[in-house]
Amino acid sequence: MDRDDDDIFMTRTPLRISFNGGGTDLPSFFEHEDGLVVSTTINKYIYVTVKRLNPVYQEQYRLNYSTTESVASIDEISNDIARECLRLVAVDGPLYIGTFADLPANSGLGSSSSFAVGLLKALHLMRGEKVSNGQLAEEAAHVEIDVLGHPIGKQDQYAAVFGGLNGIEFRTDGSVSIEPLTMRCEFLNRLFDQTRLYWTGITRSSSEVLNEQNARSSENRAALQCMREQAVLLRSKMLKGLDPAAFGALLDGNWQVKRKLASRISNGEIDRLYDLAIKAGAYGGKLCGAGGGGFLMFLVPPDGADAVRQALGNLSEVTVSYEPHGSIQMLPRSN
């Protein structure tokens, strides 16, 4: 049931960093054998606001994101995720949907899935519905993968909904299992104190990279199996209190395998920047997301931050912290 016209519904959904196992969450892999991703949510967010418009507005739907849309019907909405979320969780207009983010889109931090999760949650709230975390994650995955045909995996939706540091297993029967990796505060603090993101300035659609990766799924199977085993090892070691230097080395091992899965995952400039950071003292790292651009992530020793920063020249540096929660309701405040 829809709520009062004066209500504003706002959600906050975290972005994520995928450490190891990315690619094994793609259906082209987990439909044949189980996949595993180790990831964490961070204190950078997508905010989504949904509000009823006064009937004096001429349009039925007004959307405000990187552009503005004013349309008479759902079918006319250009933002494909917003359009299909509204079809799945119908809310009659006139309706306003707005979104903004702490970091740029197409940067390898799962922003599209966080937007889908945040919007679906807000629409359910407007309808007065409570849905489970599992249902919300599956709805977001359904919109992006089944309806829109995006060549992505299912890790981002689950990370955005559940939040925290997790091992996420993708099984051949289509089920997904979340294992929270409970770490000592000392380790988490050290890990995130030494985690740095560097903005390459390159935005890209993951679809081109992932389309090629999916097309090469058979020839990449051994590499993906290796990445899954690296994720298994990382999960095991993290539960025992893995130090940042060893963590960085495992990330580097994952990156060296992943960069060969498709021709556009890396390029000469990304390789150059990565090598500069390693030579300057970074323990290890990776390019976030599917590849091709976005953020480079490194584990950097406390006394080496200046050297790495200097080696990377004019790249903007972003520090992040651990976010233990997934998508939450901000407005109206729940009692």
Q: pLDDT tens across 193-251, in order?
A: 999 999 998 877 788 889 999 999 899 999 999 999 999 999 999 988 888 999 999 99
Cβ-Cβ contacts under 8 Å for 134 (sequence gap 6 or more): 176
More confident residue, 141 or 184: 141
Q: Mean pLDDT throughout 76-95?
A: 97
Q: Helices then strands (H, E): number in the chain?
A: 11, 12
pLDDT at residue 3, rounded to an integer: 44
Q: Are 20 and 55 in contact (CB under 8 A)?
A: no
> What is the C-alpha separation between 37 and 224, in angstroms, rounded?
11
In degrees, rounded to 5, the angle at the alpha carbon of residue 235 between the alpha carbons of residues 107 and 24 is: 55
pLDDT at 2 over 60: no
Residue 258's SS3 state is helix
Alpha helices by DSSP H, 54-110: 80-88
Higher pLDDT, 3 or 287: 287
Report domain 8-183+323-331's class: alpha beta
CA-based torsion, 254, 259, 261, 264: positive or negative: positive
**Whole-model pTM above 0.75?**
yes
Query: Residue 237's closest CA among 246, 227, 228?
Result: 246
pLDDT for res 334? 61
Is 90 exceeded by the pLDDT of residue 1?
Answer: no
Nearest to 43 by CA among 10, 9, 13: 13
> How large is the C-alpha radius of gyration of the chain?
20
Query: Given a cut of 80, is residue 320 above it in pLDDT?
Result: yes
Question: Is residue 273's pLDDT more than 80?
Answer: yes
What does the mean pLDDT of the chain come to? 94
* Distance separating alpha carbons of residues 299 and 196, to the nearest angstrom: 6
Place of tokens 């599209």: 112
Annotated active-site residue in 6, 156, 252, 271:
156
Q: CA 246: distance to chain centroid?
A: 24
SS (H, E, C) 118-183: HHHHHHHHHCCCCCCHHHHHHHHHHHHHHHCCCCCCCHHHHHHHHCCEEEEEECCCCCEEEEECCC
Q: Where in the chain is the domain with CATH 3.30.230.10?
A: 8-183+323-331
Q: Quote the CA–CA distance of 237 and 254 in Å, as a whole number.
A: 15
Yes or no: say if 27 and 155 are a contact pair by the CB < 8 Å rule: no
What number does CATH give the domain 185-319? 3.30.70.890
| Catalytic residue list contains 156 | yes
Residue 109: its pLDDT value, please? 96
Express as a percent the part of the chain with pLDDT over 90: 86
Residue range(s) of every CATH 3.30.70.890 domain in the chain:
185-319
